[in-house]
Chain A
Amino acid sequence: SYELTQPPSVSVSPGQTARITCSADALPKQYAYWYQQKPGQAPVLVIYKDSERPSGIPERFSGSSSGTTVTLTISGVQAEDEADYYCQSADSSGTYRVFGTGTKVTVL
């Protein structure tokens, strides 16, 4: 089955930059989306189509893509950014959606 691989955890101090990677073979062909999920809440879309930011999402959230890896960058991390982050994309045919394994971001 197709999988998106993320690091289990990332720790960052307030004001620093957090980078979360997501890797899979089909990422050069399919867009990636990033979701933020806080405990007990539904996920919220923070990046779509690799690097676009939905309205209402702070500018400190950005996305990029290079080959088989996409990256979510949180610049100037704030305490409120502590959450689980999931990438989401599709298989090479674009038929089946898949979520990444998830990354827990801890603000020290």
Chain B
Amino acid sequence: QLQLQESGPGLVKPSETLSLTCTVSGGSISSSSYYWGWIRQPPGKGLEWIGSIYYSGSTYYNPSLKSRVTISVDTSKNQFSLKLSSVTAADTAVYYCAIDSSSSSYWGQGTLVTVSS
């Protein structure tokens, strides 16, 4: 069973870049049946899909965030990462990493990122 853990700064200043890493244990993330993604949840609100990257290398981002988001995978480290640039207070949220296949979904516990000066 895959286990995911998000890591990165819990506090980011406005206009700076939010960077998070998801480290996977319990198995290899290198599978053609997997795709890797990030989801966020502002305090007290619903889930928002940020973007996904597929085994083929194709990336797909939420159109509302596309200009600011980059998702990448490092299979040699069993990690994938999120970068979100030019953050504002509206980007304050719990950020989750997830690995999905057609029949399963593994999520990290989530990490709260606060945007504040």
Contacts and interface: CB of A to CB of B under 8 A. Distances in A.
A37 B107 CA distance: 12
B46 A42 contact: no
Nearest to A97: B49
Among A42, A49, A86, which residue has the most Cβ atoms of chain B within 10 A? A42
The prevalent SS among residues of B at the interface is loop
B57 to A, nearest CB: 15
A95 B46 contact: no
Contacts, number: 51
Interface in A30-70: 33, 35, 37, 41-45, 48-49, 52, 54
B48 A99 contact: yes
A33 B105 contact: yes
Among B63, B96, B105, B110, which residue has the most Cβ atoms of chain A within 10 A? B105
B102 interface: yes
B49 A42 contact: no
Give me the 8 closest cross-chain CB pairs, A-B, nearest first: A45-B105, A42-B107, A99-B47, A97-B49, A102-B46, A86-B47, A95-B60, A42-B110
A45 B37 CA distance: 15
A86 B45 CA distance: 12
A78 interface: no
Given A1-B64, A96-B60, A43 B107 contact: yes
A52 B103 contact: yes
Contacts of A44: 107
B102 A49 contact: yes
Interface of B: 37, 39, 46-49, 52, 60, 62-64, 96, 102-105, 107-110
Contacts of B108: 42
Interface string A1-30: 100000000000000000000000000000
A38 to B, nearest CB: 13
Nearest to A48: B103
Contacts of B102: 48-49
